[in-house]
Structure 1
Amino acid sequence: MVSKRGRLDQFIAGTLQISKKAVRGLLITHKVLVDGQFAKSPDLQIDEFTHIECNGVVLRQYQPCYFMLNKPDGVVSATVDDKHTTALSLLHGVEHDMLHIAGRLDLHSTGLLLITNDAKWSAALMAPEHKVAKHYLVTLANPIDQEYVEAFANGMYFEYENMTTLAAQLTLLSSHQASVVLREGKYHQIKRMFGRFRNPVVALHRESIGDIYLDNQLKPGEFRSLTKAEVDSII
């Protein structure tokens, strides 16, 4: 999702279907409030969260919102889907307008999913240059050993994208389970990396993104708003 930035006069003219000259008249006569202050400049930059009133009528009043969802198996990371339950449909009692998913999970992957209407925040979260760490608990069909640790740390070349993955941290937890930390998010990356060993991923569970950890009080399918500290940890 792209942040909806633009000029104040363009927004009011388009919303009220009036000319920009008429908008300037509204500004001169103090008929427009932007975030509680009388607006004077027609080229004032606004975004989707700017509170705008004209002649006492609210034209825009979106508030940024941020949620974590404990995504269950079989739920698709999408806003609309004809075949599967969507992540957004699990956010009961929440206005879905403008919401989008920041960092998707595969259909059968579970765990931490972040959902917001703040495009700038989600862009910062997913920006490759920020290399935000993502922690996963991975269960494999076959035994794993130290060879996996070294291969993940060295990176793997994927011919299709003509790229080598960044160093990934793999910690052995048991013969069939590992903790994996990625700082990028290539298509089906974890499954493809274990696929180099012909070892199918049985279960993939995301535990954290950056300093945001899945709340262990949330059952699969449950959600809550992020705390201010959690939101600010990404900015």
Structure 2
Amino acid sequence: MAVLKRLDQTLSNLGYCSRREVRIWLRDKRVRVAGELTKNAALKVDPASVTVDDKPLDHPGDILIMLNKPLGYVCTHDINEGQRIYDLLPEIWLGRSPQVVSVGRLDKDTTGLILITDQSALVQKLTSPKQHVNKVYRVTVDKPLDQTIIEQFATGVQLISETEPCLPATLEIIDTHTAKVTLNEGKYHQVRRMFAACDNHVVTLHREQFGHYTLGDLAPGEWRDLI
């Protein structure tokens, strides 16, 4: 059974307008509940039954999407940091409460799969070290790969300025300069630092998989619903 919420709270939390503005929208006959006009901003409603200008509400429930992050975009809400992944999403989502956030981050120079949600409990679950959620990356490096690096990753790479080595990770050599890496940690710039500790430099870094989610044919800059 859907949770009923006040109409003004519903529209405000979904980023449509302020609770004060809802009264104006009701007066202007822009809002319907189950097909009927109402003047009651406090009316308890199922968000799925509400329309604005005869259109259903955008994602009246929770949001969980997969985005193929392009190169040069940052995973922050700060507009001073440059192009944001949130600029690739519907503008109305930026006004939602709870706020939409990324599940972990990919740095500006990393591309690929990033999950975005408004479910804080899900963020905590998927980023908790206790969950051991696998992330799979395709990596190109500037020096030829040697078979010895497979064992280095498998036993746990010791990062500079870290007291404990990384957890064991799987590295598969694709060709002389390309590898696939699977790990379940989330240290700062971890993949780049792991290769640096093995005397190699990451040229490109692309995440192909997060947990059981895979990009498939999703184009850079595009997103798809997961619920």
Tell me if TM exceeds 0.5.
yes
Per the TM alignment, residue 220 of structure 1 is displaced from its structure 2 partner at its CA by 1.0
Question: d(CA) in 2 for partners of 1:68 and 1:88?
Answer: 12
Q: Aligned residue pairs: how many?
A: 179
Show structure 1 runs of 5+ residues with no match.
1-33, 38-47, 229-235
Question: d(CA) in 2 for partners of 1:183 and 1:146?
Answer: 22
Question: d(CA) in 2 for partners of 1:223 and 1:92?
Answer: 11
Question: d(CA) in 2 for partners of 1:204 and 1:85?
Answer: 18
1:169-219: CA deviation from partner (whole Å, max 9, x where unpaired): 000000000000011110111111110232110000000111000131x22
**Aligned positions of 1:1-235 closer than 5 A:** 35-36=3-4, 56-58=42-44, 63-92=61-90, 94-96=92-94, 97=96, 98-158=99-159, 160-216=161-217, 218-226=218-226, 228=227
Question: d(CA) in 2 for partners of 1:60 and 1:203?
Answer: 46
TM-score normalised by the chain length of structure 2: 0.72
The one-letter code sitting in structure 1 at the alignment partner of 2:43 is V
Question: d(CA) in 2 for partners of 1:92 and 1:56?
Answer: 27
1:82-115: CA deviation from partner (whole Å, max 9, x where unpaired): 1411001101355122100102101010000110
Identity, % of aligned pairs?
36
Query: Does the Cα contact within 8 Å between 2:158 and 2:197 map onto a contact in 1?
Result: no
Residue 163 of structure 1 aligns to a residue in which SS? coil
Residue 180 of structure 1 aligns to a residue in which SS? strand
1:28-65: CA deviation from partner (whole Å, max 9, x where unpaired): xxxxxx9249xxxxxxxxxx99xxxx984359966211
Residue 162 of structure 1 aligns to a residue in which SS? coil
TM-score normalised by the chain length of structure 1: 0.70
Tell me the C-alpha RMSD between the 2 structures. 2.5
Residue 164 of structure 1 aligns to a residue in which SS? coil
Alignment CA distance shift 1:59-1:162 (3 Å):
farther
Per the TM alignment, residue 126 of structure 1 is displaced from its structure 2 partner at its CA by 0.8
Question: d(CA) in 2 for partners of 1:200 and 1:71?
Answer: 22
Question: d(CA) in 2 for partners of 1:175 and 1:91?
Answer: 37
Residue 182 of structure 2 aligns to a residue in which SS? strand
